[in-house]
Amino acid sequence: MVYKDCNIGSAKPSKSILKKYKHHMIDILEPSELFTVADFCTISSNLVKKIHLKNKIPLFVGGSMMYFKSLMDGIHDLPKRNEAYRKILHDKKIKNGDDYLFNMLKDLDLKYSSTINKNDDVRILRALEIIHATGEKLSNILSEMPKNSFKDNFTIFHFGIENERDILHQRIEKRLKQIIEAGLIDEVIFLLDKYHIPSDHPLRKAVNYKQAIHFLEKKYTLKEFEQECLYATRQLAKRQVTWLRSWDKNKIYDINDTNILENKFKKAISLL
């Protein structure tokens, strides 16, 4: 939701909702720009300080579990992306074959390479980029304690919301139908026409956008496009549930237990 004009595919709240309830980190970047976990943590830290000065309590809502975990546990101080070096690596891969960069990483950091898939270009490129910039193995850096952990600096209450799988799947299907009917394909056409979105940009891999782009590239029929969107959304929901269940001190409630949730929120606020 941080990207401008990505309204339908991300199921961004309507203008009336955004006006009624104060939201942050909405429409702060153009789709040609890159939003990283480090950006999320930095902006979140600044927002929390400002909200606390107003004697209010910030509420983080959403499904970006990796981002939330990074916020709570802290992140390592890593160098920014180096587009020039990434292009060099990309050219080497084209010249030497698909496995070249992974084998290169194995030679430089065998321990980290053993933790990722050999086709995971995002992590491979990032690891090589960090080694190039710092001269250190990523596995060594990650073995150190991360910095700026929210759980070390703030009182945090976790609330997870679940539903029965059959009901969840019904809600996903209904929501997907609404997104497609609202004009997902037209939105993606507009985005690709208005912005230069690099081939390795996360937006091109995001649920709904990835499938829509493949449909426009004639890789899917309309029916296949809808099925792929549905499958990807279900897989995302499954991963989110796994994240929620893995967190310590996280309380999970049924989505229909509105009274219980309300009381839990009130109790949490009273303890602050």
CB atoms within 10 A of CB 31: 21
Structural contact between residues 133 and 82, judged by C-beta atoms closer than 8 angstroms: yes
Rounded percentage of the chain residues whose pLDDT exceeds 90 = 59
Q: What is the mean pLDDT of residues 180-207?
A: 94
The structure's pTM equals 0.80
Backbone phi, psi, residue 29, to 5°: -135, 155
Give the confidence band of 272 by pLDDT, cuts at 50, 70, 90. Answer: low
For the chain, domain boundaries: 83-142, 163-272
Tokens of 45: 């830290």
- Tell me the CATH number of domain 163-272, given options 1.10.287.890, 3.90.1300.10, 3.30.1490.190, 3.10.129.10: 1.10.287.890
Task: List Cα–Cα distances, 10 to 7, 179, 208, in angstroms.
Answer: 6, 9, 8
Question: Measured between alpha carbons, how far is 93 from 5 in angstroms, rounded to an integer?
Answer: 33
CATH for the stretch 83-142: 1.10.20.140
Question: Measured between alpha carbons, how far is 203 from 4 in angstroms, rounded to an integer?
Answer: 12
> pLDDT at position 151, please?
84
Question: Measured between alpha carbons, how far is 200 from 122 in angstroms, rounded to an integer?
Answer: 8
Tokens of 181: 């009917």
**40-90 residue pLDDT tens:** 999 999 999 999 999 888 988 877 888 888 888 898 888 888 989 999 999
Strand partners, 254: 162
Q: What is the mean pLDDT of residues 157-173?
A: 85
